[in-house]
Amino acid sequence: MYDQILNRLSQFISLNKAEQDFFVSKLIVQECNKKELILQEGQICKYAYFINYGCIRYYYNVDGQENTAQFFFENGWYTDYDSFLTGKPTNQNIETLEKTQLLLLAAKDLQQLYIDIPKFERFGRLMAENAFLGIRQRSEILENQTAEERYLTLMKERPKVFERIPQHYIASYLGIKPPSLSRIRKRIFEHQ
Amino acid sequence: MYDQILNRLSQFISLNKAEQDFFVSKLIVQECNKKELILQEGQICKYAYFINYGCIRYYYNVDGQENTAQFFFENGWYTDYDSFLTGKPTNQNIETLEKTQLLLLAAKDLQQLYIDIPKFERFGRLMAENAFLGIRQRSEILENQTAEERYLTLMKERPKVFERIPQHYIASYLGIKPPSLSRIRKRIFEHQ
């Protein structure tokens, strides 16, 4: 159950057995069906979510439509970092797209880990840096790339998305309508 | 020379005298005149800049015009966190708006501080979290607030900007032209 998260953690910091056990004792297991809403706008995002298996997306409700912002797969972390850090309500919604198992780490437990096991500061720093780089990259792509360029970037960097995510969510993530996605796919494959 | 930066640091972490001296030994002092360009797009942002006194702004060149993104004053840190972390070229430009004294901390020296004095991890984490919250807040303001709301937010949260920054930079920061800024000021002051 905890091998994957401990392996992932060991890429950032080195923990002994007692520290690993202490960390694991803070985790809450959550089993979810496909299409389950885990977090809803207006709620406070109290947890960082590690995906043991499965897949989630998060989206914003804008003018009556769902704007998909990101997908996360097994071995990845998700949190609304803003709400998680400040305790203010989130404007994000997360839902599972497959049967999913999550390991939840509460914000207050992470704060306590920083105190009890200072090595976690390094983990926290790298997570925060990654969160920063993630939203920076996402906003640069949205501002500077055409829909076709975004599609090619996604194909190159995250082919898994095309294997596991329904087309209409991919279109939403690229900021276009499903028929535009079909046209882009057609154009690209005709040129190959 | 170093009292202010050490005070600021002590809000995040507690250092003994030897650690303070070691940290200070890594700093580079840079004296700048008003309107000096410190960093230019295309360069790599190799430093975190602490402002001992003075004021800087950073801006993007977009379609032949300068879009002002932020102002920083004494006792504040600036870095293009993306370029600083990844080593890729920045798309930001920083210039001084007053006679300014900067203390520079090199990215490679900060990485070494994380190893030599692990307490710095906490400082790094809090800096990264602040950087994240900063760009998140800035993009939410730009997406969701009218120019007038942005003006009122700025008045409330950073009155110093109005005391020290020329009007045309404030207009640029709010995403409007100087005449629109004059109209907004007129409207607000007439209603008071």
Q: Which amino acid is located at B169 in the chain?
A: Y
In tens, the pLDDT along B78-97 reads 999 999 999 999 999 999 99
Task: Establish if A115 belongs to a structural domain.
Answer: yes
Q: Which helix (H) or strand (E) holds B78?
A: strand B77-78
Compute the average pLDDT of residues A178-182: 90
Same domain? A79 vs A154: no
Between CA A142 and CA A14 the distance in angstroms is 37
Q: Is residue B133 less than 8 Å (CB to CB) from chain A?
A: yes
Inside any domain, residue B190? no
From CA B102, how far away is CA B55, in angstroms rounded?
Answer: 10
- Confidence at residue A156, expressed as pLDDT on a 0 to 100 scale: 92
Angle between helices A147-157 and A167-174 (to 10 degrees): 120
Same domain? A50 vs A117? yes
Strands B28-32 and A28-32, by their bridges, are unpaired
Q: Which chain B residues are within 8 Å of A125, Cβ to Cβ? A: 114, 121, 124-125, 128
Whether residue A140 lies inside any domain: the answer is no
- On the question of pLDDT at A64 being above 70, the answer is yes
What pLDDT is recorded for position A192? Answer: 64
Residue where a domain stops, chosen among A135, A158, A182: A135
Residue B101 lies in a domain: yes
| Residues in chain B, pLDDT under 50 | none
Q: Do A129 and A164 sit in the same domain of this protein?
A: no
* CATH value at residue B54: 2.60.120.10
Q: Which two tokens stand for residue A118?
A: 């200072």
Interchain CB contact of B118 with A (< 8 Å) = yes
Residue B139 with chain A: CB contacts under 8 Å = 139
Whether residue A143 has pLDDT greater than 80: no
On whether any CB of chain B is under 8 Å from the CB of A28, the answer is no
Whole domain around residue A191: which residue ranges?
Answer: 145-192
- What is the SS3 assignment for B141? helix
Q: pTM for this one?
A: 0.87
Q: Is A84 on the interface with B (CB under 8 A)?
A: no
The more confident residue out of A137 and B129 is B129
**Inter-axis angle of helices A178-190 and A167-174, to 10 degrees?**
90
Residue B140 placed within a domain: no
Query: How many helices and strands (H and E) does chain B possess?
Result: 9, 8
* Residue B151 domain-assigned (yes or no): no
Positive or negative, the CA dihedral B36, B42, B43, B45 is positive
Q: Determine the pLDDT at residue A145.
A: 85
In 3D space, the residue among A105, A107, A99 whose CA is nearest the CA of residue A31 turns out to be A99
Cα–Cα distance, B5 to B8 (Å, whole number): 5
Percent of chain B with pLDDT over 70: 99
Query: DSSP letters of A15-43?
Result: --HHHHHHHHHT-EEEEE-TT-EEE-TTS
Q: Report angle CA A175, A176, A180 to the nearest 5 degrees.
A: 155
Tell me: do A150 and A90 sit in the same domain: no
Q: Closest CB to A121: pick one of B125, B133, B135.
A: B125
Number of domains chain B is built from: 1
Q: What is the pLDDT of residue A102?
A: 98
Q: How far apart are CA A154 and CA A181, in angstroms?
A: 13
